[in-house]
Amino acid sequence: MTSQAPVVHGRGEPRPAFGSVLAAFDHAVTQHAEITALIHRGRSLDYAAEGRAVAELAGWIEEAGFGGRSVVLLIPNGIEYHIAYFAVLYADATPVLLNPLYPAPALEPLFADAEPALVLTVPETAEAARALMPRFGHQVLVLGEGDFTPEALVARGPAVWVPRQASPEAPAALMFTGGTTGISKAIVHSHRAMMDAILRIDWGWPTRARGEVWLPVAPMFHIYGWLFGVGNPVHAAATLIIPDRFQPDHVVDLIARHRVTVFGGGPPAIYQGLMAAQDFETADLSSLVVCGGGGAPFPVEVLKRWKDRTGVDIAEGYGMTEIAPIAVNTDSFGRKAGSVGKPVPDVDIRIADLNDWSRELPMGEAGEVCVRGPHALTEYRNRPDETAATIRDGWVLTGDIGFVDAEGFLTITDRKKDVILVKGFNVFPREVEEVIHQHPDVRGVGVVSLPDARSGERIIAFVVVDPYTETGVADLMAHCKARLVAYKVPAEIRLIEDLPLTPARKLDRIALRRQAAEAAEAAA
């Protein structure tokens, strides 16, 4: 199935054609110098100042002999992250984007793959980087202190920005997959691929060519966080409001205070957190125009509650580190609650048999989602076997299960590895989660399974309920029995205060399975 031809639609406005991410940054610095680029922790930089800081840091990188080499960014979202990322590009080096919360043992295999010559950190992440120096021999530069604060870099930076060219095929970022099933795999995305992704984000979540105020919450080392927090705001010469991590009350305040127009959002947990914030019902959120959603399937009830309160639809989309975006709900081409929308321009989607990827399934039948597009990965770095298993004749096998309906909407039902087999029947966790979410007192739910001698597997539901209600396990079990066929009803429902989340704010099913297994072992 082939997507619609690229068009500018909705409130979207055309932009110049950029051959690289660096060219888009150059345009923002030279043509929109006076626009405030970044606001974080009470500090701000306009694009001219950011350009001076980037040029100064890039000069240090080159003089120290790290130009053209791999440079790790071990930095949380912030002004330092933006300066570091574009400085590495300006020095013709490869930015390696890693999770700054990882301890040294978790970083070790990633460093082995990336082979960095330099690690850029901030004070709170420097210890892990230094701990790995004896093995890998890299140098560590701490930003945010001494001569390398944003203010010091701006003060020393050149008064005149000198543009530099980057080849469209040069690396724009080395990213790692989530690694939830094993060791993370490295993907090198070129400038061309990243610009193709940026254009398709702008197609799916249309914005103006200037004048927008963006607020991302996803970590910028993640593909979604990079697009909504780095690539697309710069492409739009926008102002970026950067919160400290994800604190719902703080984010609600920033949206209201800075009149945010584009909220990056992310998985359902982000929106559920905001809707539970103390001031959510009274804050002025009328400036919002675009609210992005992705990273995990959205319960229909979450979409409805957000729209009822803000008047803005969550534009749910779909993507992965290997290729993002893939599909999105849009005003111009249609929305369908529960779906992830229609494919973005130049992306093809086919639904394959779970046991034979070459057999395409008919419309409406669920199978493995396979995709191809101009911004897809070409390989996993140094992993030919994984590359061969994931890319077949140009198609990326996503590992997600879904179907395409008669109107062309793609619905993701689950991850292939998450399907639960009960008495010979397939049970998709999302279907059970959707039903439980319909209960008015439920604030979050995660469904996993444990082995069972009689039925093969038994369903375990972890549920977060409104603490101000008296809803209990019996109420939720009755709710499920009234709405689900018997084999889909959870064998157990466990009430918890918070659902475990991955660093990308997705539901951490591995952690839930561990909790379920530990509880079962303790009860045995």
Please indicate, yes or no, if residue 511 is contained in any of the structural domains. Answer: yes
| pLDDT of 182 strictly over 60 | no
Domain with residue 450: its CATH number is 3.30.300.30
**Whole-angstrom distance, CA of residue 284 vs CA of residue 170:** 44
Average pLDDT, the chain: 92
Kindly state whether residue 387 falls inside one of the protein's structural domains.
no
| Residue 503 pLDDT greater than 90, yes or no | no
Q: Where is average pLDDT lowest: 17-31, 173-187, 365-379?
A: 173-187
Of 38-42, 282-286, 292-296, 459-463, the range with the lowest mean pLDDT is 292-296
- Domain holding 97, by residue range, is 19-198
Into how many domains does the chain fold? 2
Question: Measured between alpha carbons, how far is residue 173 from residues 47, 93, 121, 138, 325 in Å?
Answer: 21, 10, 17, 19, 16
Least confident of 42-56, 109-123, 136-150, 382-396: 382-396
Region 163-182: mean pLDDT is 82
368 within 8 A of 354, measured Cβ to Cβ: yes
33 within a domain of the structure (yes/no): yes
pLDDT at 291: 97
Residue 509 has pLDDT above 50, yes or no: yes
Helix (H, G, I), strand (E, B) or coil at 3: coil
Q: For 61-89, what is each residue's pLDDT tens digit? A: 999 999 999 999 999 999 999 999 999 99
Domain limit, last residue, from 165, 198, 231: 198
Peptide bond into 325 cis (omega under 30): yes
- Residue 498 within any structural domain of the chain: yes
Query: What number is the average pLDDT over the span 184-193?
Result: 94
| Mean predicted confidence (pLDDT) in 239-255 | 95
The set of residues, in sequence order, having a beta carbon less than 8 Å from that of 433 and lying 6+ positions away, is: 299, 445, 446, 447, 461
pLDDT for the residue 144: 95
What average pLDDT does this structure show over 288-316?
Answer: 91
Instruction: Say if residue 219 is exposed, middle or buried (CB neighbours under 10 Å; 0-12, 13-18, 19+).
Output: buried
Residue 456 DSSP class: E
Sorting pLDDT into bands at 50, 70 and 90, what band is 295? Answer: confident
Which residue blocks in 147-267 are alpha helix, DSSP H? 150-156, 191-204, 223-226, 232-235, 248-258
| pLDDT score, position 507 | 87
**How far, in Å, CA of 463 to CA of 496, rounded?**
6
In which band, very low, low, confident or very high, does the pLDDT at 502 lie, cut at 50, 70 and 90?
Answer: confident
pLDDT tens digits, one per residue of 465-483: 999 899 999 999 999 999 9
Res 249 pLDDT > 90: yes
**What's the CATH code of the domain at 136?**
3.40.50.980
Q: What is the average pLDDT across 243-258?
A: 94
The answer to whether residue 332 sits within a structural domain is no
Confidence of residue 102 (pLDDT cuts 50, 70, 90): confident
Min mean pLDDT across 2-16, 305-319, 320-334 is at: 2-16
Cβ neighbours of residue 311 under 8 Å, at least 6 residues apart?
286
Q: Does the pLDDT at position 344 exceed 60?
A: yes
pLDDT of residue 6: 63
Domain limit, last residue, from 198, 221, 239 = 198
Q: Residues 299, 269: contact at Cβ < 8 Å? A: no
Asked if the structure places residue 385 within a domain, the reply is no
pLDDT attached to residue 252: 98
Task: Flag whether pLDDT at 113 surpasses 90.
Answer: yes
Q: How far are the Cα atoms of 9, 433, 441, 482, 500 from residue 464, in angstroms, in the given order?
A: 39, 12, 9, 20, 11
Give rounded-to-5 percent helix, strand, coil for the chain.
Answer: 35, 25, 40
- Among 146, 170, 198, the domain-final residue is 198
Handedness of CA 461, 246, 313, 467 (dihedral sign): positive
391 - beta bridge partners? 396
In this predicted structure, what is the pLDDT of residue 11? 85
What pLDDT is recorded for position 101?
A: 86
Q: Determine whether 46 is exposed, middle or buried from the number of CB atoms within 10 Å of its CB (0-12, 13-18, 19+).
A: middle
| pLDDT tens column, 121-135 | 999 999 999 999 999
DSSP 303: H
Classify 295 as helix, strand or coil: coil
Q: What is the mean pLDDT of residues 274-294?
A: 95
DSSP string, 141-155: EE-SSGGGSHHHHHH
Q: Residues 198-227: pLDDT tens digits?
A: 999 999 999 999 999 999 999 999 999 999
Q: What is the DSSP string of 434-472?
A: HHHHTSTTEEEEEEEEEEETTTEEEEEEEEEE-TTS---
Residues of the chain above pLDDT 90, percent: 77
pLDDT for 447? 95
Q: State the DSSP string of 331-385.
A: TTTB--TTS--EEPTT-EEEEEETTEEEEEPPTT--EEEEEE-TTS-S--TT-HH
Phi, psi at 476, each rounded to 5°: -70, -35
Q: What pLDDT was estimated at residue 179?
A: 43
Strands 391-392 and 395-404: antiparallel
Cβ contact 223:324 at 8 Å? yes
Q: How confident is the model at residue 430 (pLDDT cuts 50, 70, 90)?
A: confident
Does residue 149 lie within any of the structural domains? yes
Cα distance between residue 261 and residue 255, in whole Å = 8
Q: What pLDDT score does 23 carry?
A: 97
- Tell me: pLDDT of 354 over 90: no
Residue at 488: amino acid letter: K
Residue 292: inside a domain, yes or no? no
